[in-house]
Chain A
Amino acid sequence: DQQVKQNSPSLSVQEGRISILNCDYTNSMFDYFLWYKKYPAEGPTFLISISSIKDKNEDGRFTVFLNKSAKHLSLHIVPSQPGDSAVYFCAALRKKTSYDKVIFGPGTSLSVIP
């Protein structure tokens, strides 16, 4: 049962334009939602998160929007740069006593075309 879904395996955007990556989830009990970015031959790196009690979090060019009623979140990158080309994983987190259980989506490969 896939609790975190990213329905677009890939996305191409022109440099300078907005990139919008979408994510849907099924479990309303998640505490946080996160985005990780992965370059080839490297491990995923944390990008930005949002608490389940918020609807927006912004960090520089990256903004995450959360729509709890729709169980949907999105990552906006403005303006997109060629260095943003990577696989982006949406993830949902439940805080446990001794660890954070993170459930990842399958990823969306973003290509930013110069």
Chain B
Amino acid sequence: DAMVIQNPRYQVTQFGKPVTLSCSQTLNHNVMYWYQQKSSQAPKLLFHYYDKDFNNEADTPDNFQSRRPNTSFCFLDIRSPGLGDAAMYLCATSRVPAWGPRVNEQYFGPGTRLTVT
């Protein structure tokens, strides 16, 4: 089945130690998103890639970076994790045409739960 895969499902890192989360998709979607979800809060969009074009949300801290080496893979890099970065990180994909009014459904991976010690 076509899907969005996130590895690892659980990640523990130390305060200040760089960490990378990965996401892959078999849907061949052109847009990939990273969301941060803290406990009992709404998922919050960090950034997205439209094909190879990276688009940061205005309030995403500089500590968060992303790479998309090809259509299938996207990485979230946290350069110096703080205790406040402990959260669930969700990757999502969608196919966005250049035109058309319909909703482009986003497909989510299961998430990576990041713990910072």
Q: Assign chain B's interface to a size class.
A: 20 to 34
Q: Assign chain A's interface to a size class.
A: 20 to 34
| Bound: A45/B4 CA distance, A | 11
Check if B53 sits within 8 Å of A98, measured CB to CB: yes
Task: Identify which of B12-20, B65-73, B78-86, B107-115 touches chain A.
Answer: B107-115
Check if B31 sits within 8 Å of A44, measured CB to CB: no
Number of A-B residue pairs, CB cutoff 8 Å, is 62
Check if A99 sits within 8 Å of B108, measured CB to CB: no
| Bound: A50/B108 CA distance, A | 20
Given A98-B55, A99-B48, A100-B96, A44 contacting B103 (CB threshold 8 A): no
Partner of B31, one of A43, A51, A98: A98
B42 within 8 A of A: yes
Q: Which B residues are CB-close (under 8 A) to A89?
A: 42-43
Contact with B along A38-80 (1 / 0, CB 8 A): 0001111110010100000000000000000000000000000
Residues of chain B having any CB pair with chain A under 8 Å: 4, 31, 33, 40-45, 48, 50, 53, 55, 90, 92, 94, 96, 98, 101, 103-111
